[in-house]
Structure 1
């Protein structure tokens, strides 16, 4: 652990105070930003400058799938930096070529050719452009409870309230209802028929339907088994592509390589990032079917980045894929995920403020309620773009005080630990969440 630094009058040490002064905090009112200095991370745990240690029960931002001790990835990064820290995209490296081949192997069906970028939002930007280039159409249908990224195209297809300050966004983006059984006016399968009607009424102008197979930061929403297969049929019936945003659900999080694998669906395009390198390097990817890839043999792919296929990032990605395989982490996530689900259900039975639990594998959500018999959320959508803290924030903070970091989004605790977590570590983190839920229990309406 690093030596602790003296706190300032604001309760921040020197590093934290300097960061607050000179670096923008993300998605924040800057006067509320209070950065915490991380000084060490190992396995599924990390520590701060005050010596507090936490189980990383949300894999930071649902991205540290391998935890914080992936030696094979660390070694691959160091070796590639020594060999060539950067080459332009018109050159290649062995790692870039092999990673493209590996992604064709682990993605479902005929997905075969990849564009590499540096983040999930860039992966979505590429998908939007490719869909428009390929179909000759402009419109993209996405859903209201979604997050697809922060750049202008990606925030425009995002549904959650973080898009509002960026509007008007790019033209041609349309929002649809979600498969959200808890608190929606439409049954999940009814929402599909709504999308079918949207496509009909838009005429032959929709390039693609873009969805997270399992919604991530807007509540861990798991659709019925028949939802995604039927959505693909509907999209294709209207001449639209199906794009699956796997940035959060991909790479073992669900106990399968990708969220769409849970439903045995092959999308036309998949976007990915986060677990692609276990967050050891910033890397995004957009993979398409061979039919779409062939289109660009005689039609220009009018898209690129300076860092497309960055050699250090793709080296990390290749080592990450190898680690998933060698340590059998995809299958392990399914087994350990079942145990996690059981522990969350037991926890929910103890706490009346838990209104709903959802999830697959190591991708779980705990949604809170003020009322034991009704959906009365502590956190509302507008809280995402408002000042102040909510009861849900206080639940997460209390869990952290007891040794587990658990992210929360609007009204849901997001439990998405590294795929390497053990049952004993799950038990330890569940105890901390148990303490946190006492806060929401005490805040319920009487």
Structure 2
């Protein structure tokens, strides 16, 4: 439960702080003061296993000593010189070249996920041939809260319609198929419709997509989905823009989720885990896309915090540890254990309608019953709060809990966290029955 020190701090800030915090923050009512590895500590001294890894950012855990040392040393030297070259940028470029698929050999650096998505959209607009004036995206996708990112998925606010020029295709949400079909007898009909309405259209310049849809609840595509869409886009000159802000950096068991799903994108956006939660983002692309005259104009990859030395130092330290310690391999090992344990939870708890994921990224969908599949956000919220009280932090969104622990998680911590989750589901279900 929230202790007296936290209640005092929350009451003081509520006098001035604007509303609109995340659902998990509002429901959780915690004030965190420290983090070390996989553990968070609140203002009253309570510890929590962090199975949300910050906001899916702390791939190396909280305050990894090598990242702290790199940031501290850089903070004593230089903070911002616009987008001038600094001492570590060349090494970071070379490290990215070693980690990414060979064809993604050109990079631009930014500060946030939404900013790098906007940068990718500018590139698409710059290189699109005449007549290709529309962009494709997927239903249920999330690409940020800036206007361009919102327009991609027709995310309206208030009375403002922001449909823009995007065309939406069906995402591979098998559990709630909008076509009322079942995989595999469906023949992956959703992919065929994306091909028809996006990939095969002569006025579409690019398809912007999450390989695994994160904010929508970890929607993992079935075999055949991306193969059909990717081949069609490539054949018809539609650029593939993979939004890997959440998945880039190894979270699904390959450095890019695209690699594991057989996608060969032209542009990739990455952020969250690339610099251990420090604001930093990368746009990676094929040189034939990012080195065209239209994309080389002065200022096209510059912004106030683009290429800032602090972000570069944090990213270089993070990715160096990731590569040296073979943490993506660790993600696959732990991901297999998590898959087995979550399958048991799914069997044990009928309120879990679907459990899905890859590597260390999982979504648990709570329903009233498995027959109707009616979403149960109240139960999900109760499970989230009970897990916090027991010492486990997860990521809540509506009727879905996401699990995305740090890659440095020990097997004993994984077991402990899933035991706490099991207990939280059991207790929350008993209270609601």
Paired residues for 1:352-371 under 5 Å: 352-371=350-369
1:283 and 2:280 equivalent? yes
Candidates 286, 290, 293, aligned match of 1:293: 290
SS at match of 2:174: coil
Candidates 30, 51, 65, aligned match of 1:36: 30
- In structure 1, the partner of 2:194 is 195
Alpha-carbon distance in structure 2 between the residues aligned to 1:266 and 1:26: 37
- Pick closer, same or farther for the CA change 1:54–1:200 going to 2, 3 Å: closer
- Pick closer, same or farther for the CA change 1:183–1:322 going to 2, 3 Å: same
Aligned-residue CA RMSD (Å): 2.5
1:138 and 2:133 equivalent? yes
CA shift for structure 1 position 20: 2.5
Contact 2:110 2:307 in 1 (8 A): yes
Contact 1:249 1:258 in 2 (8 A): yes
Paired residues for 1:337-348 under 5 Å: 337-348=335-346
Which stretch of the first structure deviates more once superposed, 108-117 or 354-363?
108-117
Paired residues for 1:46-445 under 5 Å: 46-89=40-83, 91-136=84-129, 137-158=132-153, 163-165=156-158, 167-169=160-162, 171-186=164-179, 189-199=188-198, 203-279=201-277, 281-296=278-293, 300=297, 302-379=300-377, 390-438=378-426, 441-442=429-430
SS at match of 1:22: coil
Alpha-carbon distance in structure 1 between the residues aligned to 2:117 and 2:233: 18
Alpha-carbon distance in structure 2 between the residues aligned to 1:298 and 1:292: 8
SS at match of 1:254: coil
Contact 1:20 1:33 in 2 (8 A): no
Alpha-carbon distance in structure 1 between the residues aligned to 2:44 and 2:295: 59
SS at match of 1:255: coil
CA shift for structure 1 position 53: 1.1
Which ranges of structure 2 fall in alignment gaps of 5 or more residues?
A: none
CA shift for structure 1 position 118: 0.6
1:285-306 deviation digits (Å, cap 9, x = unpaired)? 1111011122137852635311
Contact 1:209 1:243 in 2 (8 A): yes
SS at match of 2:380: helix
Contact 1:155 1:166 in 2 (8 A): no
CA shift for structure 1 position 439: 5.0
Alpha-carbon distance in structure 2 between the residues aligned to 1:364 and 1:238: 34
1:102-130 deviation digits (Å, cap 9, x = unpaired)? 22321223111111111111111011110
SS at match of 1:12: helix
- In structure 2, the partner of 1:384 is none
Contact 1:218 1:410 in 2 (8 A): no
TM-score, normalised with respect to structure 1 = 0.88
TM-score, normalised with respect to structure 2 = 0.91
Alpha-carbon distance in structure 2 between the residues aligned to 1:27 and 1:143: 26
SS at match of 1:111: coil
CA shift for structure 1 position 233: 1.4
- Pick closer, same or farther for the CA change 1:34–1:183 going to 2, 3 Å: closer
Aligned length, in residue pairs: 422
Alpha-carbon distance in structure 2 between the residues aligned to 1:407 and 1:33: 11
